Amino acid sequence: MPLLTMKQILDDAIAKNYGVGAFNINNMEQTLAIMSAADRTESPVILQASRGARKYAGPVMIYGLVQAAMKLYPKVPVALHLDHGNNFETCKQSMDDGWTSVMMDGSLMEDGKTPSTFEYNVDVTSRVVAEGHKRGITVEGEIGTLGGIEDGHGADRVKLADPDQAVEFAHKTGVDALALAFGTSHGAFKFKAKPVLAYDIVQAVNKKMPGLAIVSHGSSSVPPELVAEINKYGGKMPGAMGVPLEDIVRSIDFGVRKINIDTDLRLAATATIRKVFVESPEKFDIRDYLRPAMEAMSHVVETRMIAFRTAGKASNFTKVISLEEMAKVYARK
Ligand SMILES: [Zn+2]
């Protein structure tokens, strides 16, 4: 099965009321962990690579890893998505590199830190949509600013999305998916107290635009048992806290379709590697700690796929809609 567009996957999630995890990849271990979990649970999946990942492994390596994983797991429907593109050029480059979906985060300026204006966001996102849709590629935008900084990207203050402005933004730009700031946050230290998600924002946007896929960024639950394990084996992550998994699951019924998860896999890998180092200090074969790390990440992904009701949905994708066909659909609009 070739790469799918993210839109094809999210359209099915909208039609059948489920959520799809979008998991960040930087290397082989993460890619195999996610893809094997998708295969075991028969789930479609969104693999996303950030600008940081494209710098770390290089776009050629990331694309090659995804292609290889798809050969190993041919039944898994996969979309390859750019996470937090910061300008038109980065998005266009990812399209040239074979990504089937891109995010243009125009809620922040090019530096990935400074909040932008609504006008700037509409302008830059519209240009990415025009370029993407011409090629049949999916485009995600963002409105409001999420808190938390990850991969050097993010504002240090939160501005929840205004539903009317979000709808206006989606109409003006033509985005396929929209990241809404509704109370989630990036990273492992996002909250001082249990977060309260503003489901009403999601609900209001979903009611006016039921065909728009709403995206929840920063949706790691930061499992306390993983944080405890890290701290037990010499780590230092006091006060790490995430969004409870049941809150994320609840947001699916209000219209959230794409759920971004990165931190939870980092925690699972770090906890496992620390444990091996402390319990077996004689070990120095990298497979001795990367194999269990991979298994721990895969377990996290599997539990999310089951919780988001993605499990069992792979068989919905009997036909891949090609980029050419998608481009024709967009051209008719
Ligand atoms: Zn994000």
pLDDT given at position 161: 87
pLDDT given at position 193: 77
321-330: average pLDDT? 98
Is residue 143 predicted with pLDDT exceeding 80?
yes
pLDDT given at position 159: 79
Is residue 155 predicted with pLDDT exceeding 80?
no
Ligand 1 midpoint to CA 287 (Å): 30
Q: Beta strand 256-261 with 177-180: parallel, antiparallel or unpaired?
A: unpaired
pLDDT given at position 150: 58
Structure-token pair, residue 58? 């290089």
Active site residues: 83
308-323: average pLDDT? 98
Candidates 261, 149, 245, 266; CA nearest to 197 is: 245
Ligand 1 midpoint to CA 303 (Å): 21
Where does the pLDDT of residue 148 fall: very low under 50, low under 70, confident under 90, or very high at 90 and above? low
Where does the pLDDT of residue 196 fall: very low under 50, low under 70, confident under 90, or very high at 90 and above? confident
Ligand 1 midpoint to CA 139 (Å): 14
pLDDT given at position 157: 66
Average pLDDT of every residue of the chain: 95
pLDDT given at position 158: 73
Is residue 152 predicted with pLDDT exceeding 70?
no
31-42: average pLDDT? 98
Report d(CA 218, CA 222) in Å as an integer.
10
Whether 226 and 258 have beta carbons less than 8 Å apart is answered as no
Domains in the chain, CATH or no CATH each: 6-332 (3.20.20.70)
Is residue 102 predicted with pLDDT exceeding 70?
yes
pLDDT given at position 151: 60
User: What's the distance, Cα to Cα, between the start and end of the chain in Å?
Assistant: 27
Residue 33 sits at φ, ψ, to 5 deg, of -60, -45
- Note residues around ion ligand 1 (Cβ under 5 angstroms): 217
Is residue 94 predicted with pLDDT exceeding 80?
yes
Ligand 1 midpoint to CA 311 (Å): 23
pLDDT given at position 156: 64
Which sign, positive or negative, has the C-alpha torsion 292, 296, 301, 307?
positive
Looking up tokens 């400074």 gives 114
Is residue 87 predicted with pLDDT exceeding 90?
yes
Least confident of 53-67, 71-85, 177-191, 263-277: 177-191
pLDDT given at position 149: 59
Whether 157 and 121 have beta carbons less than 8 Å apart is answered as no
Least confident of 62-71, 97-106, 168-177, 186-195: 186-195
Report d(CA 272, CA 192) in Å as an integer.
26
Paired with 67 in beta bridges are none
pTM of the model: 0.96
Ligand 1 midpoint to CA 196 (Å): 18
pLDDT given at position 328: 98
Neighbouring residues of 304: CB distance < 8 A, sequence distance ≥ 6: 21, 245, 259, 261, 264, 310
